Structure 1
Amino acid sequence: MDNMFDEWSGAKPHAMRGNISSSLVALHHLEYLDLSGNYLGGLGVPIPRFLGSLQSLVYLNLSCMDFDGKVPPQLGNLSRLLYLDLDNTCKSNYHGNMLQIEDISWLLNLPLLRSLDMSGVNLGAIGNWVQAVNMLPNLRALRLRECELVSPHTPIVHSNLTSLEMLDLTDSGFYTINPAYWFWDVGTIRHLDLTNNLISEAFPDAIRNMTSLEVLGLGGNNLTGVKSDVLENLCNLRVLTLWLNQINQDISQFLEGLPRCAWSKIQLLDMSLTNLTGEIPKWINQWTDLSILQLSSNRLEGSVPLELFKLKKLKQLYLDGNYFNGSISEEHLGTLVNLEELDLSYNPLHMMISSNWTPPFQLHLAYFPGCKMGPHFPLWLKGQRDVIYLDISDAGIVDNLPDWFWSVCSNVIYLNISSNQISGRLPGTLEFMSSAVIFDLNSNNLTGTLPKLPKQLAELDISRNSLSGPLPQNFGSPLLEDLLLSDNSINGTVPIYICEMQLVVLDLAKNFLVGHLPRCSEGTTKLKALVLKKNSLSGEFPSFLESCSQLVILDLSHNNFVGELPTWLADKLPDLSYLLLGHNKFSGSIPVQLTQLGHLQYMDLAYNRISGSIPRTLANFKALVQETESLGNPLLWTYGRPANPDTKYLESPKFSDSLAVVMKGQYLDYTWNIVYIVGLDLSCNSLVGEIPDELTSLVGLNNLNVSHNQLSGRIPEKVGLLRSLESLDLSHNELSGDIPLSLSHITMLSKLNLSYNNLSGTIPSGNQLRSLIDPESSYIGNNYLCGPPLSRNCWEPDATGGDIEEHQEQEAKYFYLGMAVGFVLGLWLVVFIFIFRSCSASARSGAVPSRWTHLPEGLALQLRCG
């Protein structure tokens, strides 16, 4: 396994800079030239052609120099060369510059060559590279890692490479290893490395003939039908890596099939991510030379046998990500005097180690997340002063952080004590931890103020603790990229120094911060996540975000921001995927330009003072017009935890703090799985007008909330096209008309709220609508809705086939006719009372009022005497 420190190191600290001087050509007798690891290349700087004039050279090393461009064919003039190294894959190549070769014929002029390393040189344009290297009969070592090689269509019948011992084709883009391929017949090969290619065919039977093999690297492919008996003739085998291939067997069965003649010789065995099952056999102690055993991320179970820990040469043991149970005690670990790396992560193991035990080893890597180590702090770590990578997260520790802890961890690169209940006060400064790159202390009970940070620190997570006081004016770590301090009691304002930092993630949510955000004139250009929710920040929309073109997450919710939303969001923040501005005081209308955000998949503008109508250009939200499964995850832009090198390529979310989403009528917190939430929340504003029909084209939506506005008109007839909807809330508006029948076609719907509108007609039926959460409450406040689940019955269809709408029209006619008749009868009643009184008076006098003289005699008599 490569030294894990390489993940963080660059080129030599005292490397030369500048250019290679052409005066070197005066050294006619120069035989040995090694310029490796110096900064003598750069963007657009190729390997100098004049090096081809040094014809006495037998050794030329130009590796790790960051060259760029074409490899000069003049190197073919160095006919005496025995050693040529052009490796361009080193960590120092931080520009990612690429060397390339378009014509490899010059290689034929180097017949004495014994070692050739062109790793990182693009050979994608060379179709005859195999034929070229086949003409180097003295070649012993050939390294072509990351060369984008083209698999030859015509296999070589006869190989001239009769001295070849080392062949490294790692990461070269192979998708096939045809059994007739040229290197299977080279019986002298001792080291064959095909790691990290695209091979997904059957395990090659041709391996059984390569009896000289000592190192076989097939990890990082997807080989099928991996059977260990194919290797039965490889008695010299010392290193075997098969990680990420499909073994799919019981571990005892597979190990038993490996060559018994090599059991006592194998030093490194890597079978991580191969779907191994069963228990580690007790006879593993016969592998007496084993120093590196990697079984990560399988389905192994049972207790870890004591016999495994009898392997005294064991230096690295990775058992993480399995189902091992039982306990690990000092009896297990007491004989491992050479142990340097131990990873027991994510197994239900209990570390039963007494507080006064002193380990016989010094760990460089100690990973125990998910193992039961508490409730007391593991005191045996006190003597581990060489530890560089320490992870005791989620280990059930409920204790104070001991005073010696920070001195023991003074040399750490990676430190994770998160998700425990560790108490204690942070020291005033952590500057003495000069090597620290990643700190994860989240979800504990740590107190104090944020200390001065280590100079090399890149990631800091102290969220969900009890820190207090203001943020420092200078964090002391200019390389810091991720700063997560959410859910503490930090107060004061956000310092202007934030502008000078090249942060990628800034999370200050759930604190007591006040005031305006600083007006940054520069910096923050790398920012991808800005989360400031649940503070008391104020001012207008932050203008410094115009320079944050890589922003993916913006959460300003639950603050006191005011003013209108800017029109430049789509232009300046093209990658924005999550926009959460709810619970502020933003006003004005929704800018039409906002709908040009091509990656936006969740927007929350709820509880503001937004007015105007919903833009009809909503269909421009491209990320909402596709199914959730087809969306990429914009949060997976790096990997945080240094881990087993076999699993470091697996993507893991960079941002893991929670984002609150109103879903299905309640607040739900999402972390990295926010990628599966696609929604719009425009609730609790002052929006007017109709719900635009264009909204029904956003078929990726699984959450739509426009409740508590003044929206009118009908529910879009094609609302049923939103087949991914799980939650739909249109309540507390002024919507009218009937409920579209297509609503019953949304099979994912589990929460529906149409209450307190002016909807009418029959409620659509359908299995999904019947299975809603509290279905009756979905329709209350609509006086003219009828049918199940409401108790109000609808009219039956008439004999002529008239539908419910016709009945409602007829009912309305009868209603208005009844009103007219009632008005006339009421008027006549008033007249009658008046006439009756007059009649009574006239009867007493015997006269008939003159105004009745024109009436028919009978009627006049009735009125007079009634």
Structure 2
Amino acid sequence: MTAQQLLLTKGSFLVVPSHALIGFSYADIKGKHPSIYRPANNTMSLTSLLIVLAATSTIFTAANGSGSCIPAERAALLSFKAGITSDPTDLLGSWQGHNCCQWSGVICDNRTGNVVELRLRNTYISADTRLFWCVPEGEPDPLQGKISPSLLALQHLEHLDLSGHNLGGVGVPIPKFLASFNKTLTYLNLGCMNFDGKLPPQLGNLSRLLHLNLASPVSTQTLLHSEDMSWVSNLHLLRSLDMSGVNLTTVGDWVRVVTLLPSLEDLRLSNCGLGLPHQPVVNSNRSSLQLLYLDNNRIDTLNPAYWFWDVGTIKELDLSTNQIAGQIPDAVGNMTMLETLALGGNYLSGIKSQLFKNLCNLKVLGLWSNEVQQDMPEFVDGFPGCANSKLRSLDLSLTNLTGGIPSSIKKWSNLTELGLSNNMLVGSMPSEIGHLSNLEVLVLQNNKLNGYVSEKHFTSLLKLRYVDLSRNSLHIMISSNWVPSFSLKVARFAGNKMGPHFPSWLKGQKDVFDLDISGASIADRLPGWFWNVFSKVRYLDISFNQISGRLPGTLKFMTSAQRLDLSSNSLTGLLPQLPEFLTVLDISNNSLSGPLPQDFGAPMIQEFRLFANRINGQIPTYICQLQYLVVLDLSENLLTGELPQCSKQKMNTTVEPGCIELSALILHNNSLSGRFPEFLQQSPQLTLLDLSHNKFEGELPTWIAGNLPYLSYLLLRYNMFNGSIPLELTELVELQILDLANNRMSGIIPHELASLKAMNQHSGIRSNNPLASQDTRITLHADKVRVIKYDSGLQMVMKGQELFYTSGMVYMVSLDLSYNNLVGEVPDEIASLVGLINLNISHNQFTGKIPDNIGLLRALESLDLSFNELSGEIPWSLSDITTLSHLNLSYNNLSGRIPSGNQLQALYDPESMYVGNKYLCGPPLSKKCLGPEVTEVHPEGKNQINSGIYFGLALGFATGLWIVFVTFLFAKTWRVAYFKLLDKLQDNMQLSVAMISAKGYCFQSTIVTP
């Protein structure tokens, strides 16, 4: 029995106020004041009661005045802490000592001492952040572990916030015991906690809840879901509900459920897989709703009768990133309280500013990635004048806006964010933009703007933090003496002209974390202040300029740097020591020299590009320790020696779960030697391997297919590999480029070529490959798909010349076995590789015929079979390849007539294609063929020709017979003359036979007479 309960006497009872004895048992009281406890009759006198009250009052005072707290609740909190396995930011570091009410995140009732609030939100999440992702890169790491049921001892808990911490995991659902706080809890935030499984409907027991956040991060590992939302309707007091990221695809009555909550003000159901019912719910009585977020769902239409159009209290409506097509209903004009309207990322058309004429409170308008059928001046002029001074944010990116930016834009005097990127805007950037003194974000990238930009465009923009003018044709003419009054965090000017001198006005921008001045026509030496000013950057891109200067010996002082792109300049020096958290480095196409350091830092590097420099020496073994390395490109340098033997180091390295392994290794055009790199057996994600133009030797290993199942590009040309082509190579179902040219390969071509599935599919099928977008190249497989930019180019021989493929590489399908010692016949199975664009088996010792079915390679653009010992006729099916633009059959033993027709007649320098085949004849050669010209005699056409001849003979016979019959039928004189002629012929024939018989008898008689 506790001191909070009734104290019984013999025949009467006394009620002790619960606040006086809360948290203390009789054992506690007995231990502190034994005189008031009477075991004989278990009664209390009035004097004893007064002593109890005085004692408990003293204890209560001590509990709040001396720094202690209720032991049972302190023990519960310590038990919760024991369930935390990782606390990187020392969030619970203060949880020591007796006063739990002074611990970080613990709030107690000043009167009773009970823990009433537990506020342990991850510090990166602000109170109103919408949760889609877990902790962003570079932000504080979350707590990890499990939620202990000991929290149930906090019987007066009203506020529980654990959001942003990884206290879930695969197979770990939201704990059901949290529903036991049904009498006290008014605030529950479990957002972004990586829980998995079905939402417990027991949460519907928390009838006192005012705020519920179950938002789930976008994740491939865990997934919160629910098939029924009816339990939500029990939360009658609920004011805000956030279930963003929870899979509600199968929930069909969600609209009805949420409209049953009379006090609901804030509803967030983003990224839930929801659609809107075809029969709209009307008369919903939803007069209290103010915020409605339904973005990232499956909504495909906007019915004018949908329930939210009539909710006159809505201030924020977000329907962005859905599948909504058609036009915006005029009903949007009735939402006069609307302050935020987000419709971006849909398929809306006919959007005009006049639609919003009644929205006088509009502050935020997002229409990006829709069809605005207006010029920019018309849109600005048609915008409701009553909202001009209230508009804060406008995003019209990717809306096909045309025209110029009008000077009347200055009427949006309080605008803080302006996004007009990826449109067709022309003309100059008006100086009136400089009058928007509250502007913080200006994004005009990827338009057709031109003209000059000077300091007058920025003079009054004191609050500017983010500016992106990249990919226009602007000439940024800012005086080197100008000192900006703003402090930028993001500065992007790529593709505009800022040079030829380095823009000195950037010297004062020390808070920039994203700087992009690539392709800005700068031809100057890197200033001495550069590395100091931009030491805080995360992303730096100065590529494709003519910037010179020597790199410093170390860049480790750039403690925040994650991506550095210094490529395509004239920088010199050694490779510096790299920042600790760097993930992407590109210093390609410069003039760096000297060997690579034995330890150059950047242990988390993922993309490492140093191609086209003057790096010499050997590749250090430090490369083996980079367990996150995805792309390594050291091509076109002066590297020598053998590759490091990484296999043992790799196998002994503890690789963290989910890490990304090597996917592209590009080493072409060096002087590297040794055998095929064995350490690649530990890189099962390898997609691209380019060892061409080196000195590698030995046989190709048979383990390639088994250990590198996703290999798509294998380029080994100009090495000294020998032996036969491993049969196992045909098991590489992803292989679409195989280049073994200029080696010492021998043996035959394997007949199992049909197994190369990536080569026996047409380009239309391959275009589904996630690589087929812009200039991306590498993809990682399994449960991690990551697309990596690759633009250094692949060197290939096609159409008789050496070409570099960058953006088109994903579409290239090529088989090049030229300049080897291969023998035997060209297998018919080669015609099954219908996706081939380039086929080159020249300069070998192939014999026999060209496969008759070679015409099945309908995608072929280049075919080279020259310098072999092929014989027989050229298949006529070759003329079926209409895409062919390069053909070389020279120096073989081919004979017969050269096929004609289709693309073959339009090829460049046609005679050289057939030179060295002395038995070929017919155009384009001067040697004529004997016999009539044949237009087409290939196997597929023989049956057609024969059947045509037979059909013609039958038709001619039938026609002639019919003419004779009709003539005799209607011409009697002809008929009589015809039959008389037949009778006369018959009489003459009989007479001749009789005479011959008589002569034979006489002759026979003469011979037999003695």
TM-score band by shorter chain is 0.7 to 0.9
CA distance in 2, matches of 1:596, 1:344: 49
1:861 corresponds to which residue?
Answer: none
SS in 1 for 2:852: coil
Structure 1 residues 115-165: Cα deviation after superposition (integer angstroms, max 9, x where no partner): 011111111232222221111111000111111224334321221322111
Q: What are the ranges of 5 or more consecutive residues in structure 1 without an aligned counterpart? A: 641-650, 806-866
Q: Match of 2:835, as an amino acid?
A: G
Change (3 A) 1:652 1:347: farther
SS in 2 for 1:699: coil
1:67 corresponds to which residue?
Answer: 195
SS in 2 for 1:761: strand
Q: Aligned ranges for residues 369-408 of structure 1 at < 5 Å?
A: 369-408=494-533
2:1005 corresponds to which residue?
Answer: none
Q: Is the 8 A contact 2:337 2:361 kept in 1?
A: yes
SS in 2 for 1:122: coil
Q: Aligned ranges for residues 492-571 of structure 1 at < 5 Å?
A: 492-501=617-626, 502-520=628-646, 521=648, 522=650, 526-571=661-706
Change (3 A) 1:53 1:12: farther
Change (3 A) 1:7 1:489: farther
TM-score, with structure 2 as normaliser: 0.75
Q: Aligned ranges for residues 198-277 of structure 1 at < 5 Å?
A: 198-277=323-402
Superposition deviation, residue 638 in structure 1: 12
Change (3 A) 1:2 1:801: closer
CA distance in 2, matches of 1:234, 1:258: 10
Matched, 1:30 2:165: no
CA distance in 2, matches of 1:358, 1:686: 69
Q: Is the 8 A contact 2:365 2:393 kept in 1?
A: yes
1:841 corresponds to which residue?
Answer: none
Q: Is the 8 A contact 1:292 1:316 kept in 2?
A: yes
CA distance in 1, matches of 2:346, 2:770: 26
Q: Aligned ranges for residues 670-709 of structure 1 at < 5 Å?
A: 670-709=805-844
Superposition deviation, residue 600 in structure 1: 1.3
* Structure showing greater Rg: 2
2:209 corresponds to which residue?
Answer: 81
Q: What are the ranges of 5 or more consecutive residues in structure 2 without an aligned counterpart? A: 1-127, 654-658, 777-785, 940-1010
CA distance in 2, matches of 1:160, 1:341: 42
Which deviates further from its counterpart, 249-258 or 756-765? 249-258
Q: Aligned ranges for residues 166-181 of structure 1 at < 5 Å?
A: 166-181=291-306
Matched, 1:761 2:887: no
Q: Match of 2:907, as an amino acid?
A: L
1:57 corresponds to which residue?
Answer: 185
2:997 corresponds to which residue?
Answer: none
2:875 corresponds to which residue?
Answer: 740
The correspondence for 2:266, drawn from 132, 135, 141, is 141
Change (3 A) 1:218 1:715: same
Q: Match of 1:99, as an amino acid?
A: L
Q: Is the 8 A contact 1:12 1:38 kept in 2?
A: no
Change (3 A) 1:471 1:638: farther
1:108 corresponds to which residue?
Answer: 233
Q: Match of 2:208, as an amino acid?
A: R
Q: Is the 8 A contact 1:272 1:298 kept in 2?
A: yes
Q: Is the 8 A contact 1:313 1:336 kept in 2?
A: yes
Q: Is the 8 A contact 1:11 1:38 kept in 2?
A: no
Superposition deviation, residue 639 in structure 1: 11
Q: Match of 1:312, as an amino acid?
A: S
Q: Match of 2:452, as an amino acid?
A: S
CA distance in 2, matches of 1:544, 1:246: 52
Q: Is the 8 A contact 2:775 2:807 kept in 1?
A: no
Superposition deviation, residue 329 in structure 1: 1.0
SS in 2 for 1:255: helix
Change (3 A) 1:265 1:620: same
Q: Is the 8 A contact 2:498 2:521 kept in 1?
A: yes
Q: Match of 1:517, as an amino acid?
A: L
CA distance in 2, matches of 1:608, 1:685: 6
Change (3 A) 1:566 1:201: farther
CA distance in 2, matches of 1:5, 1:381: 35
Cα RMSD for the two superposed structures: 2.6
Q: Is the 8 A contact 2:774 2:807 kept in 1?
A: no
Which deviates further from its counterpart, 299-308 or 153-162? 153-162
SS in 1 for 2:831: helix
Q: Aligned ranges for residues 649-688 of structure 1 at < 5 Å?
A: 654-688=789-823
1:290 corresponds to which residue?
Answer: 415
1:339 corresponds to which residue?
Answer: 464
Q: Answer 1 or 2: higher relative contact order, Cα 8 Å, separation at least 6.
A: 1
Matched, 1:13 2:140: yes
Matched, 1:583 2:718: yes
Superposition deviation, residue 547 in structure 1: 2.1
1:490 corresponds to which residue?
Answer: 615
Which deviates further from its counterpart, 39-48 or 692-701? 39-48
CA distance in 2, matches of 1:230, 1:150: 24
CA distance in 1, matches of 2:555, 2:713: 34
Q: Is the 8 A contact 1:340 1:365 kept in 2?
A: yes
Q: Is the 8 A contact 2:216 2:246 kept in 1?
A: yes
CA distance in 2, matches of 1:13, 1:178: 43
Change (3 A) 1:716 1:7: farther
Q: Match of 1:613, as an amino acid?
A: I
Q: Is the 8 A contact 2:547 2:569 kept in 1?
A: yes
CA distance in 2, matches of 1:376, 1:110: 65
Structure 1 residues 755-786: Cα deviation after superposition (integer angstroms, max 9, x where no partner): 11111122222242222122221111111112
SS in 2 for 1:23: helix
Change (3 A) 1:547 1:198: farther
Superposition deviation, residue 708 in structure 1: 0.5
Q: Is the 8 A contact 2:266 2:291 kept in 1?
A: yes
CA distance in 2, matches of 1:200, 1:344: 30
SS in 2 for 1:393: coil
2:322 corresponds to which residue?
Answer: 197
SS in 2 for 1:624: coil
SS in 1 for 2:325: coil
Superposition deviation, residue 473 in structure 1: 2.0
Matched, 1:750 2:877: no
Structure 1 residues 466-487: Cα deviation after superposition (integer angstroms, max 9, x where no partner): 1112222223212110001111
Which deviates further from its counterpart, 144-153 or 12-21? 12-21
TM-score, with structure 1 as normaliser: 0.88
Q: Match of 1:335, as an amino acid?
A: S
CA distance in 1, matches of 2:926, 2:794: 40
Q: Is the 8 A contact 1:549 1:572 kept in 2?
A: yes
CA distance in 1, matches of 2:130, 2:324: 26
Q: Is the 8 A contact 2:132 2:215 kept in 1?
A: no
Superposition deviation, residue 314 in structure 1: 1.2
2:48 corresponds to which residue?
Answer: none
Matched, 1:354 2:500: no
Superposition deviation, residue 272 in structure 1: 0.8
Structure 1 residues 560-596: Cα deviation after superposition (integer angstroms, max 9, x where no partner): 1112212222222222111111111111111122112
Q: Aligned ranges for residues 596-607 of structure 1 at < 5 Å?
A: 596-607=731-742
Q: Match of 1:364, as an amino acid?
A: K
2:983 corresponds to which residue?
Answer: none
CA distance in 2, matches of 1:364, 1:5: 24
Structure 1 residues 655-693: Cα deviation after superposition (integer angstroms, max 9, x where no partner): 221111111111111113211211111111111111111
Q: Sequence identity of aligned pairs in percent?
A: 58
Structure 1 residues 467-510: Cα deviation after superposition (integer angstroms, max 9, x where no partner): 11222222321211000111111112222221221101111111
The correspondence for 2:427, drawn from 282, 299, 302, is 302
Q: Match of 1:527, as an amino acid?
A: L
Structure 1 residues 490-542: Cα deviation after superposition (integer angstroms, max 9, x where no partner): 11222222122110111111112122212223269611111011111112111
